[in-house]
Structure 1
Amino acid sequence: MSRIAKAFRWAAALVRERKAQLRLSVRVTVAVALTFVVAQFVNIPLGGLWAVLTAVVVTQMSVGGSLKAAVEYSVGTLGGALYAGAIATLVPHTTEISYLGVLGLAVAPLALLAAISPNFRVGPFTAVLVVLGSGAIHIGPIASASYRVFEVAIGGGIGLLVSFLVLPARAHVLANEAAADMIDLMASSLHGLFAGFTRGSDRATIQRIQRSIGEAFARFNAIATEAGHERMTRFADRNDPQPLARALLRLRHDLIMIGRAGATPLSATVQPRLGPLLTRIAETADDYLRATGASLIGRRKAPSLSAVNAALDNFAKEIAALRRDGVTRELSGDALEQLFALGFALEQMRETLKDLSASVTECAQS
């Protein structure tokens, strides 16, 4: 019995962890089934193959992603079908060599256009289908192009409809979750970054930390772009994810500066006085960021920055005391440069955390 209970708990945990992916699986399955039924009803050639494939492509993780995919797929298909249909109609092609020439004329300009604009990425693919598909199903190029546009309209329309109605996932919610994950990752990296000022740091470890933060930001930014597409509809709230994206990017840069400043330990002259203060900054910033991530998920007002500000103020006061005591005059040029870089990075982080707090509070009020 205990094994069965453990299995149920494991399955429940898996469902909670992969809830978004399971929802996408259901939406794609529903979209494929509905598109296939419609394609059979209207008697599309090849059983509605391209309509079904379009439904799969358009049905994305979020409504915003589905809107973006539908726009790109529709624009690329329409442009590719019109151009390839015109080329295949106007240029005779009765031999394999002439077929090759028509295919090249149809694909080359569309491939260039696809390289310039992502909206036309499906253009070359559509051109190949129009030129070669017309011979496969024994219809003219104009009819082939028409069927291609018709199938994309059916598959894209059903994919969008399913994305809106079947277990819909809003991109701005997913963006908040991705932002919270990034914030937690930055919080967990603080102690390692600040430890460099007292114990020294491992370059490979710091690079791994910075790389993981950069990857987390890339994931968030991709979803935030989808959230921007949702803002064009009534389905999403009017909260703009860009202020949050800018704050997270700036905080990432602040941590890069702190990591570089902590590449070597502080001078032994100042380390006993500054080391404990830097540890306190790391602790308060860690607590603040973790509470901020929780506030973002719960759509609550951002937590207070008072503890972080107090820790930063104490550090600034100690730097001023070091100057008054003449300690900084005894430091080498490299040590002074390190102190300046550290102070600048910490003040930048203070301003960034203020902007992050404002962005999180704005998300809670939307």
Structure 2
Amino acid sequence: MDIRAIILRQRPQLYLALRIVISAVAALALAQMLKQPLPLWAALTAVIVTQLSVGRSLKATVDYFIGTIGGAIYGGAIGIFVPHANEYAMLGAVALTVAPLAYIASIRPSFSAAPITGVLVLFIPTIAHISPLASAVDRVIEVGVGGAVGLAVSLLIFPASAHRLFVTAAAQVLAQIAQALDESLGSASDGLDTDAHNRLQDGIAQAAAQLSVVGAEAEHERAARLSAGPGTGPMLRTITRLRHDLVMLGRAVNQPLPADIAKRLQRPLTDVRTALASYLHGCGSSLLARRGPPSLNAVLSALESYDSAVSTLRRDGLTLNLSGHAAEQFFALGFALEQMRGNLNDLHRCVSEWVEADAAVARAKS
């Protein structure tokens, strides 16, 4: 077992673990120095807001702080204006505190910390013998300390940019689409193994969902001017359209093409299959290596050869006697490939923009 290879592969996760440890210890020490009544709450906050990427940490910090302020204000108000001197009154006060805050948190996930904070602000005065107002202020200070420490550690200790994580995730999705395309077009003569193709599609869907999440984190970084990369929207939309093209291709080849047509199209489809898979893999490699995208010439040439073969088939009358299903299948295949031609042009432009932006940032730092 190659320990070095495992460490390199798990490096982002190991860095995250290290950042969380540093955040928790630093937040606890700072809260103790500030004589906070619950310094562990600052450490807990630091653990929560220290995330895999800077963008995710920034969003977690803002959301947690907003939820804390809302919960502290409302919980403090309940503690001041709603009597809760006995057990039954306390149960009512807790219900009155939690119900609206939980409802708001269900609508606005950024307020997820509000119910917890509201309950703490309500309960702590009965334990520590302080006023509800002082309890609310202490909670805000503790969360502020933990959030500030967690965000500072995320920015300073092995910072992980969501911009780069987005690039890695995009390259992974493109590689999966390339694999699925290769299998789809390789099945035009024999019919597609639907179960295997569905498994590939499920994997692509999961990777695309993760790409969307990381893209949102990258946008938080851009909004805070913590990264200078291009917007993630065009790349996300292009990859989504390529996924749709893949679905159309899968439907077009889920049954074998008629034998005479499949024989005539075997060579041009093989060329298209090879060119598309190679180009998508090349785009992913270009993103990771920060170099210009590969040329589209091989793809365009293969698609033109396929179009020419289809024109010859139609001229020879081989499409006239196709059944309704076979005709639908045949023309759906051509439509999907034509859609992919346009979307690959968009992908070429997106990869170029990302590579150029990375190069500009590198020049600015040098």
The Cα shift of 1:136 comes to: 2.8
Match of 2:161 in 1: 170
2-side partners of 1:272 and 1:225: how far apart?
46
* Corresponding pairs, count: 357
Question: 2:32 — aligned with what?
Answer: 40
In structure 1, the partner of 2:198 is 207
1:80-95 to 2 correspondences below 5 Å:
80-95=71-86
Moved over 6 A (4+): none
Query: What residue is the counterpart of 1:267 in the other structure?
Result: 258
The one-letter code of the counterpart of 1:13 is: A
What amino acid does structure 1 have at the position aligned with 2:297? S
Correspondence 1:50 to 2:25: no
Distance 1:209 1:169 in 2: 29
Match of 2:102 among 111, 114, 117: 111
- TM-aligned CA deviation for residue 161 of structure 1: 0.8
Shift of 1:137: 2.5
The percentage of counterpart residues that share the same residue type is 45
Aligned to 1:3: none
Say whether the 8 Å CA contact 2:121–2:132 is kept in structure 1.
yes
Pair 1:339-2:330 in alignment: yes
Q: CA deviation at 1:179?
A: 0.7
How far, CA to CA, are the matches of 1:22 and 1:134 in structure 2? 40
| Paired letter, 1:42 | L
Tell me which moved more, 124-133 or 247-256. 124-133
SS at match of 2:320: helix
Give, as a single letter, the amino acid of the residue that structure 2 aligns with 1:14: I
Alpha-carbon distance, 1:234 to partner: 3.2
> Which consecutive residues of structure 2, in runs of 5 or more, have no partner in the other structure?
358-366
Shift of 1:326: 1.2
Does 2:302 match 1:302? no
Distance 1:134 1:260 in 2: 64
Equivalents in 2 of 1:134, 1:311: separation in Å? 74
Matches within 5 A, 1:224-303: 224-303=215-294
Match for residue 99 of structure 1 among 67, 86, 90: 90
User: Structure 2: how far apart are the matches of 1:25 and 1:164?
Assistant: 15
Counterpart in 2 of 1:29? 21
| Separation in structure 2 between the aligned mates of residue 281 and residue 238 of structure 1, nearest angstrom | 32
What is the aligned-residue RMSD (CA, Å)? 1.2
Q: SS at 2:319's partner residue?
A: helix
Q: Is the 1:191–1:279 contact (alpha carbons within 8 Å) kept by the matching residues of 2?
A: no
Secondary structure, counterpart of 1:231 in structure 2: helix
Alignment gaps of 5+ in structure 1: 1-6
TM-score, normalised relative to structure 2? 0.95
TM-score, normalised on structure 1? 0.95
The answer to whether 1:76 aligns with 2:39 is no
Q: Deviations over 1:52-101 (max 9, x none)?
A: 01101111111101111011101111111101110121010112211111
Q: Counterpart of 1:214 in structure 2: which amino acid?
A: A
